[in-house]
């Protein structure tokens, strides 16, 4: 089985996240933005309903989401990044409490994993991302860039709910170029 990689180039990430927005497909834009900024598995993203992310009493997007992860059963709270809040606000005209966030307009049910994969693949191919990209690439991209930005690997491990740092290290897709950058970037003697 081939593994997917994180998207390492931030320009490609920006192009991927903006691809559907430029085409007026706000739902698909939101899917990619949520995948990039929450580190959730696609199965957890697709099960979200509007009531999970939108406060109907106050008429605004929530600042965080509480979710029980499908794979682990663990409950976690995820602060919603400003990019997610903007995307949700753009899409909020379709909000109804029990409506799936990523609704298939024909069936009125949440889209499936296969459709989510297609949405991500079309955008990735269109913006010329050369590496193998799937739904899981969005989750891996979050961790890779958190690590590159200096976030402690144990914190990333906790976000992912991994049982060991070794799993997280493999998951991040650290390359020889990343290792070389550490060797070359350390300044111990002036």
Exactly one of 27, 37, 41, 76 is catalytic; which is it? 41
Q: What is the DSSP string of the chain?
A: -PPP-----HHHHHHHHHHTGGGT-HHHHHHHHHHHHH---HHHHHT-BHHHHEETTTTEE-SEEEEE-TTT--EEEEEPPHHHHHHHHHHGGG--TTSBTTB-TTTSSB--HHHHHHHHHHHHHHTT--S---HHHHHHHHHHHHHHTT--HHHHHHHHT-S-HHHHHHHTT--HHHHHHHHHH-----
Residue 41 a catalytic site member: yes
| 121 noted as active-site residue | no
Question: Is 160 assigned a catalytic role?
Answer: no
Distance CA 74, CA 138 (A): 20
Relative to beta strand 54-55, strand 64-68 is: unpaired
Indicate which residue of 37, 136, 140, 160 is catalytic: 136
Active site residue 187: no
Catalytic position from the list 58, 71, 108, 128: 71
Active site residue 162: yes
Which of 29, 37, 76, 139 is the catalytic position? 139
Residue 136 a catalytic site member: yes
Catalytic residues: 41, 71, 136, 139, 162, 171
């Amino acid at each position: 089985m081939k593994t997917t990689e994180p998207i390492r180039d931030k320009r490609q990430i920006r192009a991927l996240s903006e691809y559907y927005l430029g085409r007026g497909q706000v739902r698909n834009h939101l899917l990619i933005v949520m995948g990039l900024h929450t580190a959730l598995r696609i199965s957890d993203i697709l099960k979200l309903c509007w009531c999970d992310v939108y406060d109907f009493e106050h008429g605004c997007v929530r600042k965080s989401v509480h979710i029980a992860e499908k794979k682990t059963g663990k409950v976690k709270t995820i602060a919603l990044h400003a990019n997610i809040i903007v995307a949700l606000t753009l899409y909020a005209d379709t909000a109804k409490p029990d409506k799936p966030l990523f609704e298939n307009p024909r069936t009125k049910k949440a889209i499936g994993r296969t459709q989510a994969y297609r949405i991500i693949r079309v955008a990735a191919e269109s913006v010329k991302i050369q590496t193998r990209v799937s739904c899981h690439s969005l989750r891996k991209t979050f961790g890779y860039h958190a690590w590159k930005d200096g976030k402690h690997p144990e914190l990333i491990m906790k976000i992912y709910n991994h049982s060991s740092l070794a799993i997280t290290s493999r998951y991040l897709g650290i390359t020889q170029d990343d290792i070389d950058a550490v060797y070359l970037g350390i300044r111990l003697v002036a």
